[in-house]
A and B are shown apart, each in its own frame.
Chain A
Amino acid sequence: MKRYEIIDGPIDTGEVIKKVVCNEAGAITTFIGTVREWTKGKRTLYLEYQAYISMAEKKLKQIGDEVESRWPGVKVAITHRIGRLEISDIAVVIAVSSPHRKVAYEANQFIIERIKEIVPIWKKEHWENGELWIGDQLEITPLVVEGEEKR
């Protein structure tokens, strides 16, 4: 059973949740990321996701390990889909189990933010009048700018 997976077909949410079920858990939170039709007045027709699969699975595991050491007792499973996704399709499912609910929510939110930082997965938007690879959702790309010092 792989707890950190990149797959190119539909994600079975129930299967992801099953991976974190355990006797110690008193709560399971699930985040489901879906394909949105409208973004800032622009209509998306479909999305295309691409990944550096082997590294992406490693980075998902790294995030899971980070979470499980920061919040002891937590168990994590993440599946991300790649390929062509239609509106409302599920792109990512994150399941977190924990003895108590507060941590299950916190850890789950932490994971989606980390995915957007370090996991090599890319999304291409296809619109009626064009297409574009989307990047830098957090606007934190380390760019070395040789700027002049202002006085």
Chain B
Amino acid sequence: MNFELTEERQMLQDTLRRFLRTCYTTEFRNGVIASDQGYSPKIWTDLAELGVIGALFNEDQGGFGGTGFDIATVFEELGRAGVVEPFLETGLLAGRLLNQQDMIDQIIAGQLQLAFAHAEPNSRYDLNDVSTLATMLANKIVLNGRKAVVANAEAADYLIISARESGDDISFFLVPRDTKGMKLQGYPMTDGGRAAEVILDDVTIDVTSRIGIPGQALNQIETTIAAATVALCAEALGLMETAIQLTIDYLGTRKQFGKPIGSFQALQHRMADMLIELEQVRSIVILAAGHLETAPNIRDRYVSAAKNLIGRVGRLVAEESIQMHGGIAMTEEYELAHIAKRIIMIDHKLGDTDYHLERFIALSA
């Protein structure tokens, strides 16, 4: 047994933590969130140079990581700093589905943005609920349908779009964002960054745009979503560490009734409960990351366990951190506001607490 990070991952963690602590201040982040683009191209390139994206790909792909523990190391630090840049979308979701090496090289170098357009207005968290159609027409493929809450769609050079082909199975297609017939309705997200509704109206693409084997996308999507869910859980861990640290600092400095509010036992015990739950979260993230490369039914049982637990603890930590601060934590300019929103919004990505509880039960049967 050894729960230490490898030397390389430790170095990556230290580097990221140092860099983000200096550069990714609350003021900077609020500026990014308020910007039209919704992300900072400068931070994107800087972090790519530090190896953030390379760590998400294996050596055969030109990266230096790609395993569950690499993903967890990166995303815990991105979470700790409340980073809103689309590393999940470009680096993991879309990045993992690509098989063109030249494009992967560009992603790792921070020169390409991608989005994964899979979920639809009525699919909620069901990965198999796809109504978008891909029809063969004179050696071309024509896409029709609508994709919902596609993060990073407006900034993406390419979208990876899932659709049903004849025979009813799901395939996916690499489509340049400016393709005729594709309309984006963009908006900001509650926790920073931007997303869009993607309307596909006779989007005509070449057959070579199909990625992988026709109709075989679902398995690959599930593998990718498992990795992305581990990333979200690790991000939540980092976010919770920050929320709790901010609360500890505040309990020590805020005075009411002539003493620091941290001297009140009622608050001390609630802080203690949060710290206990935080270690539970740390452990479940390690378990999920450590099982990412195992058989799908084992992998997904751990992944769902993790997402369920971070959903429950996330709500506790976000709400209790705000409550123990009082009004100050309700203000946009205070760092906790963003951190808490991000924790809560993770419950709306890739399956919520109940969804993963149900899936855990199904996989445990």
Please indicate whether A and B come from the same complex rather than being unrelated chains: no
A contacts, CB < 8 Å to B: none
B contacts, CB < 8 Å to A: none
